[in-house]
């Protein structure tokens, strides 16, 4: 699962801007399991350093602001490349499986 975590995070952010814990919850909903904070934030930090995501403090309705992550254009391109690589991997493991992007409704 660790190998897919980076792609999973990018995929969650492709839909909406999220703060750290919300990303962990989204990953859980996608069946990837909820990563521990100890794995998630160093990964987000690497993605930020690589320019795939950027982060800003967004004031919440109640309580203090949250640091919210947003996918950058570079991050969107990276997600697309990583999705292609995962599809190739799945196709290699199971040739009977249809992994064409159109039918999977890729965003």
User: Which residue ranges make up the site for another protein (CB under 8 A)?
Assistant: 2, 19-21, 24, 36-42, 45-46, 49, 66-67
Cβ 29 to another protein shortest distance, Å: 15
CA R_g for the chain: 15
Helices (H), the chain: 2-15, 20-29, 37-49, 73-93
Q: How far apart are CA 52 and CA 79, in angstroms?
A: 9
Q: How far apart are CA 32 and CA 12, in angstroms?
A: 11
Start-to-end Cα distance in the chain? 22
Nearer to another protein, 38 or 105 (CB): 38
Nearer to another protein, 21 or 107 (CB): 21
Nearer to another protein, 40 or 53 (CB): 40
Cβ 20 to another protein shortest distance, Å: 5
Nearer to another protein, 49 or 93 (CB): 49
Structure tokens at 66: 């949250």
Cβ 4 to another protein shortest distance, Å: 14
């Amino acid at each position: 699962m660790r190998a897919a975590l980076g792609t999973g995070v990018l995929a969650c952010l492709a839909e909406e801007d999220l703060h750290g814990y919300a990303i962990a919850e989204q990953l859980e909903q996608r069946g990837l399991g909820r990563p521990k904070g100890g794995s998630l934030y160093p990964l987000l930090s690497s993605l930020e350093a690589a320019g795939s995501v950027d982060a800003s403090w967004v004031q919440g309705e109640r309580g203090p602001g949250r640091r919210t992550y947003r996918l950058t254009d570079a991050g969107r391109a990276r997600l697309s490349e990583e999705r292609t690589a995962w599809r190739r991997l799945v196709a290699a493991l199971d040739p009977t499986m249809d992994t064409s992007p159109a039918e999977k409704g890729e965003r």
